[in-house]
Homo-oligomer: A and B are copies of this chain.
Amino acid sequence: MNSTIETILNHKSIRKFQERSLTKEQIETIVKSAQAASTSSFIQAYSIIGVKDQQKKEKLAELAGNQAYVAQNGHFFVFCADLHRHELIGEMEEKDFSGALESTEKFMVSLIDAALVAQNASIAAESMGLGIVYIGGIRNNLEEVCQLLNVPKKVIPLFGLAVGYPDQSPDVKPRLPLAHIYHEDSYNENNSVLKDQLKDYNELISSYYEKRTSGKRKDTWTEQMAQMLSNPKRQYMKDFIEGKGFSRR
| Partner-B contacts on A (CB < 8 A) | 1-5, 7-11, 13, 28-29, 31-33, 35-38, 40-44, 46-53, 56, 80, 82, 84-86, 88-93, 95-97, 99-101, 103-105, 108-109, 111-112, 114-116, 118-120, 122-124, 127-128, 132-134, 136, 139, 149-152, 155, 158-159, 172-173, 175-176, 178, 180-187, 189, 191, 194-195, 198, 221-226, 228-235, 237-238, 241, 247, 249
Contact = CB atoms under 8 A, between A and B. Distances in A.
Nearest to A102: B232
Q: Is the interface of A mostly helix, strand, loop or mixed?
A: helix
The 6 closest A-B pairs by CB, nearest first: A115-B115, A4-B127, A99-B232, A119-B119, A93-B226, A97-B229
A126 B97 CA distance: 35
Contact of A103 (B4, B123, B235): B235
A92 B199 CA distance: 10
B97 A230 contact: yes
